[in-house]
Structure 1
Amino acid sequence: MLTSEQYQQRMQRRKEAQAQRVAQASKQKGLIIVNTGNGKGKTTASLGMVLRSLGHGYRVAIVQFIKGAWEPAEKTAFQHWTIATNGKPPQLEFYAMGEGFTWDTQDRERDIAKAQEAWAKSLEFILNPDFQLVLLDEVNVALKLGYLDIQEILAGLEQKPVDSHIILTGRGAPKALIERADLVTEMTLVKHPFREQGIKAQPGIEF
Structure 2
Amino acid sequence: MTTESDAQAESQRHASKMAKKKAARDKIMATKEGEKGLIIVHTGPGKGKSSSGFGMILRCIAHGMPCAVVQFIKGAWETGERRLLTENFGDLCQFHAMGEGFTWETQDRARDIAAAKAGWEKAKELIHDPRIRMVLLDEINIALRYDYLELDEVLAFLRAEKPPLTHVVLTGRNAAEGLIEAADLVTEMTLVKHPFRSGIKGQPGVEF
Name the structure with the higher strand share.
1
- 8 Å CA contact retained: 2:76, 2:97: no
Match in the other structure for 2:207: 206
Match in the other structure for 1:53: 60
Match in the other structure for 1:22: 29
Gaps of 5+ in 2: 1-8
- SS of structure 1 residue aligned to 2:89: helix
Q: Report the residue type matching 1:81 in the other structure.
A: F
Residues 70-89 of structure 1 mapped to structure 2, 5 A cutoff: 71-78=78-85, 79-82=87-90
TM-score, normalised to structure 2, is 0.88
- 8 Å CA contact retained: 1:136, 1:167: yes
CA distance 1:105–1:192, shift in 2 (3 Å):
same
Match of 1:173 among 150, 175, 184: 175
* Deviating more after overlay: 34-43 vs 155-164: 155-164
Distance 2:100 2:195 in 1: 31
2:150 corresponds to 1:149:
yes
Distance 1:97 1:53 in 2: 22
CA distance 1:174–1:203, shift in 2 (3 Å):
same
- 8 Å CA contact retained: 1:126, 1:157: no
Name the structure with the higher helix share.
2
Residues 1-207 of structure 1 mapped to structure 2, 5 A cutoff: 3-68=10-75, 71-78=78-85, 79-82=87-90, 90-97=91-98, 99=100, 102-158=103-159, 159-195=161-197, 197-207=198-208
Give the deviation of 1:109 after TM superposition.
1.6
Give the deviation of 1:21 after TM superposition.
1.2
TM-score, normalised to structure 1, is 0.88
Distance 1:71 1:110 in 2: 20
Larger radius of gyration: 2
Gaps of 5+ in 1: 83-89
RMSD: 1.8
